[in-house]
Amino acid sequence: VSEGRICIRGARILDPAADRDESGDVLIEGGVIAAVGAALDASGAEVIEANGAWIAPGFVDLHTHLREPGQEYKEDIASGGRSAVAGGFSAVACMANTQPVNDDPAMTDFIIDRAKQDSPARVYPIAAATRGLEGVVMTEMSTLVEAGAVAFSDDGKTIMDGGVMRRVLEYSRLVTAPVITHAEDRYLVANGVVNEGPVSTKLGLPGNPAAAEDILVARDLTLAELTGAHLHVAHVSTRGAVEAIRQARDRGVQVTAEVTPHHLTLTDEAVLGYDTNTKVAPPLRSAADVLACREGLVDGTIDAIATDHAPHAVHEKDLEFTEAPPGMIGFETAFPVVLDLVRNGELSPLELMRRLSTNPARILKRPGGSLEVGAPADIAILDPDTSWVYDPAKGYSKSRNSPWAGQTLTGRAIATIVGGRLVYDVERGVIYP
Amino acid sequence: VIGRDLLGIEDLDRADIERILDTAEHMREVGRRVVKKVPTLRGRTIVNLFFESSTRTKASFEIAGKRLSADVINFSPSSSSLNKSESILDTARTLDAMDPDAVVVRHAVAGVPRQIANVLDAPVINAGDGAHEHPTQALLDLLTVRLEKGRVDGLTVAIIGDILHSRVARSNIYAFGKMGADVRIAAPPPMIPAAVETLGVKAFTNVREAIEGADVVMALRIQNERLSGTYFPSVREYSSTFGIDREKLKFAKEDAIVMHPGPVNRGVELSHDLTDHRPSVILDQVRNGVAIRMAILYLLAGRPQDGEPKLAVESGAES
């Protein structure tokens, strides 16, 4: 089926953009949503029976690592894109820490071209904020935005020089693209690999204090206020950061924020067995921090859920805990993991979908996150009740570094449509390309 | 009943610990003979897999294995797997294919013995992992105290020094706590780990308060070349504030003993005088270390097949 007529029948339609949560059908034609309503005329259309499954705008992931170019043994744009749609994501933004770094319009062009050929999901490149992620010379933001960059970030190589960060934020106003901060003070993190507290003490591994994040979030919020730029805080993980963002929003600072599925559901106690798949930056935090992140997501302090999908090869994770690289894959587990907030009564299904699609699309100023007539037909079809055993080896990522490997998860993306084309179906797998 | 591996004191209960100490008391006798060998582990292979250099602990395990007639081989890969083509787990899998009966692991990073035990068939004995645990050290310390004091229950133990980076501290906090002792620690504040009270100790910054009324004063080694100037201002200041000498020892019980896992930075953690003379028992600790490691090897590598070890050692010891 290529950009044909598709009718999804008998679904629970969840459209955060229209505050709609009702039963009905969705008709797709010419790559866009043609109609939404009850008992639509499906003549000539391929019919997908939803049998009460949820239909939502395709998820938009603000924070991913696709590893191409340079580290294709971990992931590439094709495998990352396939893994994304298998998790219900129709669009993903990819960080600039490739080899070479995406700090040049030619590299942004390359990623976009490669994604058009290889990836079933839309791919939005995030360009480096400074050349080579070195925190010294700012990148050509205007040219990069023309090439298709959607945001600027040095991600894990946090810009430690406050003067550089200030000027990056100031200059970003020219292009009205957010600057994304991975806010951890490198000196306070030092060699820390696990949240500092009872768990780091028990494990005997170097601790990374919550203060390292609290302090850099506070600095960057202050600089956002000073410059009037749009600051986006990546993977918020501490109670202090949530509170600082809440206060900054209240006084009108232009700040948005994301939280990962793992920081919403796992505490540092997950690290107690020394499983390097639980090593991530920032680290898994205390139960109080997890609770604060959940509250922040519920009350709107944190806008979006982003996976920070960070593939690493098995042989890299088979190292000593201090040596293994931080990060976990996340596309295919994100929906069932965050569904915990619905099961726990903290978010309605509609509000969860808003944080997975509508809000991240708005932050990136890209289409998506809407099922209104005329919107691109980017759709996730979701079964919130099905239980399945997650085996990363059977997933689409090239890597397997997941803390949920082998676990029974409830909820799954059962089909994904991008631009009106069915690209994934749980029975057939990834269909296109 | 002791598990398959010995990864940490945290995993043991009081009965396990008593059984190990009782077995070690039998083993002490073997070391006093002219022919210091029993046939208990004849035909068994023990691999000392030491990723981190160690003279004392490696020698102690090697002697322990040889006194039990095991074949002991020492394997010391370079300390970081980043320098090699092989990950630690690949190294472990390679060794496992040679069918050892026990693998003794020492590594500078916490958790490596656990990671290795997850992929190995053979029992894994932790000979010290980063700042996590050093269970045989704690067991030999318990044995030393039990022999000196006749009991552990009800004693007060003060551990002084770099708790943050110390596997000896963590294992001893668990070990003495499980055996009913009251455990205190004292250190310069940057060397007290976060939330240390969750381990079941009371933390002091004043060393005299920590020592007050103690039956056992244990000083830990300071890595002065690496930590001086960052975790404490200078070796001179450390030794005057936290170094144990006879003046500070006056605050402890009159019959208190002084321990140190060695090697001692003389004049830093312990005065010269205390390093060499009673009430310090440093060389007894070393001697008991061989007995403890014999007991552990016997209990873990001496199993016929998933069963209890044969009691040949006791009869051997008495013959």
- The token duo for A98 is 């490739």
Q: Which residues contact B69 (CB under 8 A, 6 or more apart)?
A: B37, B38, B39, B40, B41, B42
List pLDDT tens digits, range B39-52: 999 999 999 999 99
Closest residue of chain A to B87, computed from CA coordinates: A319
Nearest CA distance, A66 vs chain B (angstrom): 24
User: Is A135 in contact with A156 (CB distance < 8 Å)?
Assistant: no
List pLDDT tens digits, range A286-323: 999 999 999 999 999 999 999 999 999 999 999 999 99
Mean pLDDT of chain A: 97
Which of A196, A203, A315 faces B132 most closely, judged by CB atoms?
A203
Residues in chain A with CB shorter than 8 Å from the CB of B198 are: 198, 201-202
Residues in chain A with CB shorter than 8 Å from the CB of B199 are: 201-202
| Whole-angstrom distance, CA of residue B262 vs CA of residue A364 | 59
Q: Which of B66, B102, B6, B30 is nearest to B314 (CA)?
A: B30
| Whole-angstrom distance, CA of residue A397 vs CA of residue A340 | 23
Four-point Cα dihedral B29, B33, B37, B40, nearest 10: -30
| Whole-angstrom distance, CA of residue A396 vs CA of residue A309 | 13
Task: State the pLDDT confidence band at A126, using cuts at 50, 70 and 90.
Answer: very high
Task: State the pLDDT confidence band at B227, using cuts at 50, 70 and 90.
Answer: confident
pLDDT at A4: 84
Query: First and final CA of chain A: distance in angstroms?
Result: 12
User: Is A397 in contact with A409 (CB distance < 8 Å)?
Assistant: no
What amino acid is encoded at A247 in this protein? Q
| Whole-angstrom distance, CA of residue B79 vs CA of residue A196 | 25
Best of B51, B85, B114, B118 to substitute, by most chain A Cβ atoms within 10 angstroms, is B114
pLDDT at B156: 98
Residues in chain B with CB shorter than 8 Å from the CB of A211 are: none
- The token duo for A222 is 């202050």
| Whole-angstrom distance, CA of residue A54 vs CA of residue A68 | 33
| Whole-angstrom distance, CA of residue B302 vs CA of residue A15 | 66
Helix (H) or strand (E) holding A84, with range, is helix A77-86
Task: State the pLDDT confidence band at B310, using cuts at 50, 70 and 90.
Answer: low
Interface of chain A toward chain B, CB-CB under 8 angstroms: 196-198, 200-205, 207, 209, 273-274, 276, 315, 318-323
Task: State the pLDDT confidence band at B78, using cuts at 50, 70 and 90.
Answer: low
Residues in chain B with CB shorter than 8 Å from the CB of A196 are: 194
Q: Which of A59, A75, A124 is nearest to A95 (CA)?
A: A124
Contact: B88, A200; criterion CB under 8 Å: no
- Counting Cα atoms < 13 Å in the Cβ hemisphere of A339 gives 19
- The token duo for A260 is 């990962």
- The token duo for A131 is 């050349």
pLDDT at B305: 53
User: Is A280 in contact with A406 (CB distance < 8 Å)?
Assistant: no
List pLDDT tens digits, range B97-139: 999 999 999 999 999 999 999 999 999 999 999 999 999 999 9
SS3 B66: helix
| Whole-angstrom distance, CA of residue A287 vs CA of residue A268 | 8
pLDDT at A1: 41
Q: ipTM surpassing 0.85, yes or no?
A: yes
Rg of chain B in Å (alpha carbons): 19
Closest residue of chain B to A210, computed from CA coordinates: B194
List pLDDT tens digits, range A26-72: 999 999 999 999 999 999 999 999 999 999 999 999 999 999 999 99
Q: Which residues contact A250 (CB under 8 A, 6 or more apart)?
A: none
Contact: A204, B167; criterion CB under 8 Å: yes
List pLDDT tens digits, range A164-198: 999 999 999 999 999 999 999 999 999 999 999 99
The model's pTM is: 0.94
Q: Which of A420, A366, A428, A307 is nearest to A46 (CA)?
A: A420
pLDDT at B84: 56
Best of B49, B51, B87 to substitute, by most chain A Cβ atoms within 10 angstroms, is B87
User: Distances in Å between the alpha carbon of A315 and those of A274, B41, B90?
Assistant: 16, 35, 9
> Does B230 contact chain A (CB < 8 Å)?
no
Q: What residues of A act catalytically?
A: 308
Residues in chain A with CB shorter than 8 Å from the CB of B109 are: 320-323
